[in-house]
A and B are shown apart, each in its own frame.
Chain A
Amino acid sequence: MTSLFNPNDVRLITPELVLTISAFLILGLSVLPDLGRKTWAPVLAGLACVSTLASLLSFVWMFGLEALRTPDMTIGFNGMFILDAFSIFFKVVFLLAAMLTILVSARYLEVERAHTGEYYALILFAVVGMMFLASAGDFITIFVSLETMALSFYILVGFLKTNRKSNEAALKYFLLGSFSTGIFLYGISLVYGTTQTTVLGLIGISRAKMALQSPAAPIFVLGVILVTVGLAFKIAAVPFHMWAPDAYEGAPTPVTAFLSTGSKAAAFVVLARIFSMGFLPLGQRWATLLAILAVASMTLGNVAAILQENIKRMLAYSSIAHAGYVLMGMIAVGLGDTVETREYGLKAVLLYLLVYTFVNIGAFALVIILRREQVAGDRVADFAGLSRRAPWAAFAMLVFMLSLAGIPATAGFIGKWFLFGAVVKAHYAWLAVVAVINSAISLYYYARVVVNMYMKAPEGAARLAPSWGQRVAIGACIAFTLVFGLYPQPIIAFAERSILALAPWAS
């Protein structure tokens, strides 16, 4: 029999509540009489940044640092909400990504004359969606949280109302996103129809096997495929990537940074949760499906990135390729015949998404500070001679490009090392070979940016004027990339501990 609401469950969602309440506060403050948007907006940016920090600290306050070390799983709201180290890991990633995004946003929005409180409220609502997604224990919660996140992003992508590219990007993203939502939902309905439950744990423990042995097996498999397709849209894997270059190019650059890291990580957390908790009995089948997606994404993403003149489009294709790399970790989870292989694959996914968040936001932050009055600053050619105009900015971009290419001594190398190792462990060495060849291809277009910065004469002499928030964010990203590139043990240990809770395969 169903039980009613348990007040103790509210405790579990404290970090989400902190963010929701501050988003309400920001919304309330942003409708105050026009004291000059100029005076209010920076205050709201500060408030948004503080609230992400408060949310982050509330984890420590609520659960203590011990919670991150134990493989315990706290289930609340009748199985709808799972709080474990796995979800906390991703919530930390989302909050850090949001914090960095907010730090780099303020100056950019002033230049675009679109600096309002609603922007920050929507960023926070997107994070709330992502955080619930990380904890979702059944398909209904997954769907509702996924839509909360996606809807916030549709609006954020089109936030520059007077910019036609932004309008176009938002419309394309919205239409293709809704379409993929429909496919995802259809998949869920078929899975529900054949398993009689939406709870992931239940599907994984018994119902998936039952459905596979019943006459309804083809319907169940079709449902799994449609769920995969819906999520492939969200991570922008080929052939479901069409929206990404246009949306990334047209969106305000801080939103692009957040979209390519936070939203992608959120889609991967669902993928990991659904496939490792619910659909593990079909591991072999969906791993094959993901392998096709991974090869297509890596190859097309890297080859298309070479042809781009616009750096936001180039990074969009690079992010498609990176989705392909991360999928390799999930393939190891599906194929792995031992618990170690599966854990290794999942660990690689977590590690890579954490690293990628910092590196990619850092790279986009450089594109953001090149945007000034009259200068769009989003062509690769705009980086020409940057080493002479702004040596530190050029050095930062160098670090991020090397890290995205996966050069040793940067955090990107560590991430790739584990992903490639995972597929080798799962006896899919050919996939690792494909990935290595692709990494070599990707060197070309990352190096092109570096060549532009260091070996070409500057086109204009305009100085860069990053705000202190942007300096802090870029500094944090560089520090992360280099420190954990040379000494990766802490983040490896963090990822290792986080997957212990998500081990239904242990049996």
Chain B
Amino acid sequence: MTPAAVVFYILASLALLSAVMVIWSRNVVHSAIYLVLTFLCVAGVYIVLRAEFVAAVQVLVYAGGIVVLFLFVIMLVNLAGTLGPRVRVHATVSAIVGCAAVALLLYVSASGGLDTDFGARIDLSAQGGNLQAVGWALYSDYLLPFEIASLLLLVAMIGAIVLARQKY
């Protein structure tokens, strides 16, 4: 096993473990903290794959921005007493469907098609490294989706204003 693979397995199992803890813990603040841990581990996996830019974005946007937003909501909205009893039937059905999905994924990944060579083989240093390569791709091949994405964000912003405003 290469060192990269060892690091990957450690990070991946930590990410899975904390993801399970997100749904397991009964305290929402704990859930949010576990979510940060998941995001950080995934960022670590990106670094193993030599996608430094994606890793940085992962930390900034997800671990930073989104979880902070979660914590704000949790603290502003009083969740005490709103959780209610767990619905047995739904929990059973969800458990069956969830386990079946996990089993399917495990079966498919065990079928041998997955690449287990963890060190990245793509050398981007000629193109000025990771960040520059992403920038090139965004402004050349992926220009159109990039522009549509800006429209998407605008729609999200309008939606937030329209729905949060007091009167019409």
Contacts and interface: CB of A to CB of B under 8 A. Distances in A.
B113 A148 contact: no
A118 B162 contact: yes
A114 B145 contact: no
**Which of the listed residues A113, A128, A215, A218 has the most CB atoms from chain B within 10 Å of its own CB?**
A218
Given A158-B163, A214-B113, A152 B108 contact: no
A436 to B, nearest CB: 33
A141 B158 contact: no
A352 to B, nearest CB: 28
Nearest to A162: B168
Given A5-B140, A125-B155, A140-B142, A219 B109 contact: yes
Contacts of A5: 139-140, 143
Instruction: Decide if the interface of chain B is mainly helix, strand, loop or mixed.
Output: helix
B131 interface: no
A77 B143 contact: yes
Contacts of A80: 141-145
Contact of A154 (B140, B141, B145, B159): B159
Nearest to A174: B159
Nearest to A133: B148
A219 B137 contact: no
A220 B144 CA distance: 26
Contact of B155 (A122, A219, A220): A122
Interface string A109-132: 000011110100110010011001
A297 B158 CA distance: 35
A194 B112 CA distance: 12
Interface residues of A, number: 48
Interface string B97-122: 00000001101110111100000000
Contacts, number: 102
A132 B143 CA distance: 13
Given A81-B144, A144-B148, A194 B113 contact: yes
Interface residues of B, number: 30
B140 A128 contact: no
Contacts of B137: 2
B141 A78 contact: yes
A174 to B, nearest CB: 10
Given A116-B168, A118-B162, A219-B108, A2 B136 contact: yes
Nearest to B167: A161
**Which of the listed residues B112, B148, B152, B158 has the most CB atoms from chain A within 10 Å of its own CB?**
B148
**Which of the listed residues B104, B107, B149 has the most CB atoms from chain A within 10 Å of its own CB?**
B149
Contact of A4 (B112, B140, B155): B140
Contacts of B142: 80, 140
A27 interface: yes
Nearest to A114: B168
A115 B148 CA distance: 27
**Which of the listed residues B145, B152, B158 has the most CB atoms from chain A within 10 Å of its own CB?**
B145
11 contacts: A77-B144, A116-B168, A122-B162, A148-B152, A155-B155, A155-B159, A155-B162, A159-B162, A216-B113, A218-B108, A219-B109
